[in-house]
Amino acid sequence: MTVYATPDRNAADVRVIRAAGDLVCVRCRLKSGDGDPADFPADGIPAMLDHLDFHTVVGDHVPLEAFVRLRSEYADLSEDGAL
Ligand SMILES: [Zn+2]
Per-residue pLDDT reduced to its tens digit, 14-58: 999 999 989 999 999 888 667 777 999 999 999 999 999 999 999
Q: Are 65 and 5 in contact (CB under 8 A)?
A: yes
pTM of this prediction?
A: 0.87
| DSSP state for residue 11 in the 8-state scheme | T
Q: Which three-class secondary structure state does DSSP give residue 33?
A: coil
Phi and psi for 9 in degrees, rounded to 5?
Answer: -130, 125
CA of 76 to the centre of ligand 1 (A): 24
CA of 14 to the centre of ligand 1 (A): 6
CA atoms within 13 A on the CB side of 9: 12
Provide the residues around ligand 1 (an ion) whose CB is within 5 A: 25, 28, 30, 40
